[in-house]
Amino acid sequence: MKRILSLFSVLFLVTLVTIAFAFAACKKTESTDRIASTGGSEWELTSEAVPVINSEPASEPTVSSEPEIIHVSGIKLSAYERTLTEGERFMPIVTMSPQNAANKAEKWETSDAAVATVNNYGNITAKKEGSCIVTVTSVDNPEIKAEFKVTVKAPEKIELTYRDGILIVNKTYPLPSSYNPGVNSEAQAALNKMFAAAKAEKNLKMWVCSGFRSYTVQKNLYNSYVRRDGAENADRYSARPGHSEHQTGLAFDINYADDRFKGTPEASWLAENAYKYGFILRYPEGKEPITGYMFEPWHYRYVGVENAAKIYASGLTLEEYFGITSAYK
């Protein structure tokens, strides 16, 4: 009987151990399943958001492929008004800003074409007595413009002065701005003959460095001298517009119109022989108070062979010979 009870006890213990192991195995399987379902951790996961890092590179700023266009913002003129004589021209200098503006094209207009006209380059031509407004406008920016006032006056009525058939032009006796004869053909022929004689006699080479000058050309030349040397000095060696013998077409500057010509063989030959061909030395040395101009050994004036011979023989200037003055009023 004891043996039966012992056997029964052993079986009971084995059964309990088997149940214990089975229960332990079941718990382990449950734990493993829970770990797998939570990503491999037994700890409870929170609901807090995890920051996401964007691995894509930041996009670069967009750069326009078209350059910026700079527009005109202002116009300035070198002058804003001018009084012109009929037939005279003037062109103001235009400056557009900024300097790097893309389109600096200009548009020119006149308020009265009967008084003054203007071309596409801003060259103004005086037509008849009166006044008008010339306007320059920016093509790029039509709101930007500048105005130029033009006053046109009629030419002075000046009568030509003659003495013994010789046209007199000096500081006292002017020429009108409209007097524009060009080079006198008789004077040119005599000059060519004189140059040929100098070449044949002394093998001297002569040429004209300045001949006929219009009123406008003389005006520009005189004004340039005034800017450089002042009016008082310029008046000693350059004639004011309308007072130059070059405007007659009868006066010529030979070889060099400066001190280089003084004392040359050509200057000496002309002083002794020019009268034979109808020319006189117009501004002799030491005669500035009488002629109004300093010594110019290069400046010769055609008066005809007969008159030239008389004046040369007298030893007088043209002013002394005819008893006239040469002084600006």
According to DSSP, the residues that pair with 110 across neighbouring strands are: 134
How many other C-beta atoms are found inside a 10 Å radius of the C-beta of residue 181? 14
Q: What are phi and psi of 186, to 5 degrees?
A: -65, -45
Last residue of a domain, one of 153, 182, 215: 153
Crossing angle of the two packed helices 185-202 and 265-273, in degrees rounded to 10:
120
Last residue of a domain, one of 134, 153, 172: 153
Claim to verify: residue 192 and residue 135 sit in the same structural domain = no
In Å, how far are 78, 108, 121 from 133, measured between CA atoms?
16, 11, 16
81 has catalytic annotation: no
pLDDT at 157: 82
pLDDT at 155: 81
pLDDT at 252: 98
Q: What is the pLDDT of residues 259-308, one digit of tens each?
A: 999 999 999 999 999 999 999 999 999 999 999 999 999 999 999 999 99
Kindly report the pTM of this predicted structure. Answer: 0.60
Which position among 296, 306, 319, 320 bears the catalytic label? 296
Nearest of 110, 65, 71, 75 to residue 90 by alpha carbon: 110
Residue 195 CA to residue 130 CA, distance in Å, equals 49
Claim to verify: residue 141 and residue 243 sit in the same structural domain = no
- What mean pLDDT value characterizes the chain? 87
pLDDT at 117: 97
Nearest of 267, 263, 242, 244 to residue 254 by alpha carbon: 267
pLDDT at 147: 97
Q: What is the pLDDT of residues 10-60, one digit of tens each?
A: 566 556 656 655 555 555 445 444 444 444 444 344 444 445 555 555 556
Q: What is the pLDDT of residues 191-249, one digit of tens each?
A: 999 999 999 999 999 999 999 999 999 999 999 999 999 999 999 999 999 999 999 99
pLDDT at 67: 82
Claim to verify: residue 193 and residue 267 sit in the same structural domain = yes
CB 295, CB 286: distance < 8 Å? yes
pLDDT at 276: 98
CB 318, CB 280: distance < 8 Å? yes
Question: Which residues span the domain enclosing 146?
Answer: 74-153
On whether residue 187 sits in a domain, the answer given is yes
Lowest mean pLDDT among 65-74, 84-93, 104-113, 172-181: 65-74
On whether residue 189 sits in a domain, the answer given is yes
Residue with tokens 């008893």: 323
Claim to verify: residue 103 and residue 246 sit in the same structural domain = no
Claim to verify: residue 283 and residue 246 sit in the same structural domain = yes
CATH of the domain at 114: 2.60.40.1080
On whether residue 33 sits in a domain, the answer given is no
CB 198, CB 204: distance < 8 Å? yes
How far, rounded to the nearest angstrom, does the alpha carbon of residue 119 sit from its chain's CA centroid? 17
Residue 306 CA to residue 206 CA, distance in Å, equals 23
Claim to verify: residue 140 and residue 184 sit in the same structural domain = no
Claim to verify: residue 302 and residue 214 sit in the same structural domain = yes
Claim to verify: residue 283 and residue 197 sit in the same structural domain = yes
On whether residue 235 sits in a domain, the answer given is yes
Domain count for the chain: 2
In which band, very low, low, confident or very high, does the pLDDT at 158 lie, cut at 50, 70 and 90?
confident
pLDDT at 34: 47
- Percent of the chain exceeding pLDDT 90 equals 75
Last residue of a domain, one of 127, 153, 179: 153
Claim to verify: residue 174 and residue 124 sit in the same structural domain = no
Per-residue pLDDT for 3 more than 80?
Answer: no
Output 76 or 6, whichever has higher pLDDT.
Answer: 76
CATH of the domain at 199: 3.30.1380.10
Using CB atoms within 10 Å of the CB of residue 78, give its burial: 0 to 12 exposed, 13 to 18 middle, 19+ buried.
exposed
pLDDT at 266: 97
- Would you state the structure tokens that stand for residue 301, as one six-digit string? 């004036």
